[in-house]
């Protein structure tokens, strides 16, 4: 019998994935209709600045605030924040820099999650948010590259692959839920693979 304690962490991670997929679908739909991708880019940039402030506050309130790994992640967010505020290059140059810094922060958090080996809601939430922004910036970058071409005519339809991947993850949870918390690192690897597929869903050509 599945216990509420065992199901809560996995349910939160799966809910984050489902919610993120929906938000990315809405974002790409809006972007495909606009004739002003640069305006959308600046709006997303401001959204990221606000989110970084929220993520730093989450870290400061975290029970593990004195954890060296947590501080390392916060430092990566501060670097990203400073770069966003100091940015004065062209949009495409900025995009490249933003993506590099977001990837650095993501690499840091993935490393932390694998080292901890236990569920940490703050880290999982920040991990999901950073992936959202990374993919959104990738979508905007693709929009600029396509010019007047329609995104729907160029981006591969890989929704079926993603659905298959998320269903595999859910089956894994159903079959191993009572053991997942003790082997959270293994579950995290499965989750990271799903996020990689999510990226392909929205940016593969």
Q: How many domains does the chain have?
A: 1
Range of the domain at 145: 4-203
**Mean predicted lDDT score pLDDT of the chain:** 78
Distance of CA 203 to the CA centre of its chain: 14
Q: What is the pLDDT of residue 94?
A: 79
Identify the CA nearest to 127 among candidates 100, 112, 108, 109. Answer: 109
Q: pLDDT tens digits for 11-69?
A: 888 898 889 888 888 888 888 777 788 888 888 889 999 999 999 998 888 755 457 76
Q: What is the pLDDT of residue 53?
A: 94
Task: Identify whether the C-beta of residue 201 lies closer than 8 Å to the C-beta of residue 155.
Answer: no
How far apart CA 73 and CA 84 sit, in angstroms, is: 17
Distance of CA 168 to the CA centre of its chain: 20
More confident residue, 185 or 66: 185
Prediction pTM value: 0.80
Q: Which of 17-21, 143-147, 189-193 is least confident?
A: 143-147
């Amino acid at each position: 019998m599945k216990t509420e304690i065992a199901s809560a962490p996995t349910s939160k991670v799966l809910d984050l994935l489902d919610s993120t997929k929906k938000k990315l679908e809405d974002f790409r739909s809006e972007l495909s209709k606009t004739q002003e991708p640069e305006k959308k880019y600046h709006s997303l940039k401001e959204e990221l600045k606000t989110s970084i402030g929220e993520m730093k506050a989450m870290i400061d309130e975290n029970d593990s605030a004195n954890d060296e790994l947590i501080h390392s992640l916060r430092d990566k967010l501060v670097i990203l924040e400073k770069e966003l505020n100091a940015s004065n290059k062209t949009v495409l140059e900025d995009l490249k820099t933003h993506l590099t810094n977001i990837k650095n922060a993501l690499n840091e958090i993935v490393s932390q999650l694998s080292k901890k080996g236990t569920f940490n809601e703050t880290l999982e939430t920040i991990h999901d948010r950073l992936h959202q922004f990374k993919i959104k910036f990738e979508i905007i970058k693709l929009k600029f590259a396509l010019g007047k071409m329609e995104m729907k005519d160029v981006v591969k339809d890989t929704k079926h692959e993603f659905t298959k991947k998320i269903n595999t993850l859910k089956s894994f949870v159903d079959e191993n839920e009572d053991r997942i918390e003790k082997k959270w690192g293994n579950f995290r690897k499965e989750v990271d693979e799903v996020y990689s597929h999510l990226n392909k869903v929205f940016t593969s050509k």
